[in-house]
Structure 1
């Protein structure tokens, strides 16, 4: 896993070097040292952990979810990925597995977003998270689960406000989500054997939500960024089938390098 991450990070470092100086120059014109310090908080974030098994959200990275739109969207996308795969498992009758993917407001992925919601003037969705978790965990039945899930997704989309974001930030969020999916796939699959089905499933959820997020862009956003969006759509379409089923038995032929590669290529496409 670490060798593949090094490859991705090397690509990221190459493009980061072309943008960091310009960003630093622009920021220095707007913020004094005290303000710049206060604009950055340490928050757990995908891709920052160092040990196998840590999964998404472990470790810490210098990212301010109050102002960093791509990081904000990526974290919301990870929550949606968990919920998506949990709902899919529920619909397929795998109740015990579905319960493990339900999130609560106390979960670190959500908790780190709370200050961002306040700063951005949007509503959180903690009550909706609880309602869905309760409906699944307490086995309240399909009608209750479906209603809670639908209401929660609406609330998350209201918090995302994808239509108001810069397209480059939306695309960068996809890169982050695929990188995290690659890390989860690495944890889940060893030498073709699924050794951690939860992480294998998470990778599926993150990738699925990354694919679907492009559908939320407006026609105006698409027309203004047609070339970059077309390139990212082609990258996503080229991903091999890594999940023959989300409840696998026996060998799988997938390899996380496809996810790492797609993450790097999307970053490059976004920054070009």
Structure 2
């Protein structure tokens, strides 16, 4: 998501490395599960994105490959069994915890020193928000108040990433971001326990 946002905004050089992350950073963790579910095509799609990343000059050049990988990811997610409110909550927490870690790694004091880490965090939060929206009906049915509180907590957390490229100074301190992550986990507690 960070790659798409940056490349479409004209920050091609900033966006290219993010096309490699699903293949290099995420695929090794899910490879066995994908193989177990006979989802071998996704690995090839992610590998294609990574290999073409350095040659991309515009979104049009990569959009078809990106869309193929996106659809592959959706198909892989849909093969999981027993999607529950608890499992949805765990995915959201995994995404946002990683986002907070990326944000923390991007900072040295009150200066962003690793823009790509900030951008990764922004992408993880965007994915968490999308995932929450995709599962709204299921979560609302189980506990409408918890769903509303989760949305508020996630929106509060997202304030740390106001723009695709880091601002001059962080708008949310790292300690406040960890606190926002804790509030999100509390909001999701009714689904988890």
> Normalization by structure 1: what TM-score?
0.61
CA distance in 2, matches of 1:212, 1:160: 14
1:139 aligns with 2:93: no
1:229 aligns with 2:157: no
Question: Taking structure 1 as reference, are residues 240 and 158 closer, same or farther at Cα in structure 2, changes over 3 Å only?
Answer: closer
CA distance in 2, matches of 1:139, 1:259: 34
Residue 124 (structure 2) aligns with: 206
Q: Of 176, 188, 193, which residue of structure 2 is paired with 1:270?
A: 188
Q: Count matched residues.
A: 189
1:109 aligns with 2:22: no
CA distance in 2, matches of 1:257, 1:246: 21
Residue 85 (structure 2) aligns with: 167
CA distance in 2, matches of 1:86, 1:160: 21
Over aligned residue pairs, what C-alpha RMSD do you find?
2.6
More helix by share: 2
| 8 Å Cα contact 1:131-1:148 kept in structure 2 | yes
SS of structure 1 residue aligned to 2:10: coil
Residue 254 (structure 1) aligns with: 172
SS of structure 2 residue aligned to 1:107: helix
Question: Taking structure 1 as reference, are residues 151 and 225 closer, same or farther at Cα in structure 2, changes over 3 Å only?
Answer: farther
Once the two structures are superposed, residues 107-152 of structure 1 have per-residue CA deviations (whole angstroms, 9 ceiling, x without a partner) of 2421121111133454551121133234432227533311111221
Q: How does 1:1-272 map to 2 (within 5 A)?
A: 84-103=1-20, 107-139=24-56, 141-161=58-78, 164-217=82-135, 219-239=137-157, 241-248=159-166, 250-272=168-190
Question: Taking structure 1 as reference, are residues 111 and 135 closer, same or farther at Cα in structure 2, changes over 3 Å only?
Answer: same
> Normalization by structure 2: what TM-score?
0.82
- CA positional deviation for 1:160: 1.5
Question: Taking structure 1 as reference, are residues 266 and 121 closer, same or farther at Cα in structure 2, changes over 3 Å only?
Answer: farther
Larger radius of gyration: 1
- Unaligned residue ranges in structure 2 (runs of 5+): none
